[in-house]
């Protein structure tokens, strides 16, 4: 049995303008065999939730490095979780979540309470890859056709809904 490709939605947070993290994550995830939609920087909660409903990604990866991530990602995750259709979708958060140089794990309780599935440190890329591989292995094959129908953004610079 061949595993179907995962559709991963990569997004920045509402106040975070950094894009190199997003570009890097997209390339790394694509090279690992996933389809990626990159929502870009400064994503308002409304655009994120609307995109989740429209594209029904298998996993949401939230990346933030500007130091507001612990608040912004919690708010964004809660907004996404508000819709029961996303109950089962893993939400993985990482980057540089605070401003004090302390571990992201310090923010895990608050982020988990808001609906985040896993909080990773900035060097935890291998762990992200492992988590996605597990999600992929567990994904129901029946969803394959639905997922194949959602076109992942081409060429790595499509900002969904940006215009």
Partner 1 sequence: MTAPPGTGFAGAINNTRRDGLVVVQPRMGFAEPSAMRAGLVAVRDARATTVGTITLDSYTRVGDLHSARTAVRTRTRLNGYPLCTHPDDTTRSMLSEVYGPGFPIQVRHGSARPGHIIEAMARIGLDATEGGPVSYCLPYGRTPLRSAISEWSAACDRLAEMSTPERPAHLESFGGCMLGQMCPPSLLVAIAVLEGLFFAQHGVPSISLSYAQQTQPEQDLEALAALRRLIDELLPGLDVHVVLYTYMGVFPRTRAGSSNLLDESARIAVFGGAERLIVKTVMESVRIPDVADNVAAVERAEREVRCSQQMRAAGRPPWTPSESGLYEEARTMIDAVRSLDPDLGTALHIAFRRGLLDVPYCLHPDTQGRTRSRVAPDGRLEWAHVGSLPIDGPRPAGHAVGAQELTSMLNYVADRFDSTAAAVR
Binding partner of 144, given partner 1, ligand B12, none, CB within 5-8 angstroms per partner class: none
Report the C-alpha gap between 113 and 71 in whole angstroms.
Answer: 12
Smallest distance from the beta carbon of 99 to ligand B12, in angstroms?
A: 4
CA distance 36 to 60: 10
Q: Is 68 in the site for partner 1 (CB under 8 A)?
A: yes
Residues 90-129 that bind ligand B12 (CB under 6 A): 92, 94-96, 99, 120, 122, 124-125, 128
Residue numbers 58-77 binding ligand B12 by CB under 6 A: 61, 63, 65-67
Q: Residues 144, 2: contact at Cβ < 8 Å?
A: no
3-state secondary structure 63-104: EECCCCHHHHHHHHHHHHHCCHHHCCCCEEEEECCCCCCCCH
**131 closest CA partner among 58, 44, 54, 46:** 58
| Structure tokens belonging to residue 52 | 């989740």
Q: With respect to partner 1, which residue has the nearer C-beta, 61 or 89?
A: 61
| Span near ligand B12 by CB under 6 A; candidates 21-29, 49-57, 72-80, 136-144 | 21-29
Q: Which is nearer to partner 1, 24 or 82 (CB)?
A: 24
With residue 139 as reference, give the H or E element that holds it: none
Q: Is 108 in the site for partner 1 (CB under 8 A)?
A: no
Q: Taking the complex as a whole, how short is the minimal distance between the CB of residue 11 and partner 1, in angstroms?
A: 12
Q: What are phi and psi of 62, to 5 degrees?
A: -105, 125
Q: Does 28 bind partner 1 (CB under 8 A)?
A: yes
Contacts to ligand B12 by CB under 6 A: 15-21, 24-25, 61, 63, 65-67, 92, 94-96, 99, 120, 122, 124-125, 128
């Amino acid at each position: 049995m061949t595993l179907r490709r995962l559709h991963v939605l990569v997004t920045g947070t509402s106040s975070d303008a950094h894009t190199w993290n997003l570009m890097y994550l997209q390339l790394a995830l694509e090279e690992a065999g996933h389809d990626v939609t990159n929502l870009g920087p400064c994503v308002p909660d409304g655009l994120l939730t609307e995109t989740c409903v429209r594209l029904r990604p298998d996993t949401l990866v939230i990346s933030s490095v500007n130091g507001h991530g612990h608040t912004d990602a919690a708010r964004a995750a809660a907004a996404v979780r508000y819709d029961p259709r996303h109950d089962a979708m893993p939400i993985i958060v990482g980057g540089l979540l605070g401003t004090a140089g302390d571990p992201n794990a310090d923010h895990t309780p608050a982020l988990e309470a808001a609906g985040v599935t896993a909080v990773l440190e900035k060097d935890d890329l291998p762990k992200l890859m492992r988590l996605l591989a597990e999600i992929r292995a567990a994904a129901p094959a029946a969803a394959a056709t639905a997922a194949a129908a959602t076109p992942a953004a081409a060429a790595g610079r499509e900002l969904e809904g940006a215009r």
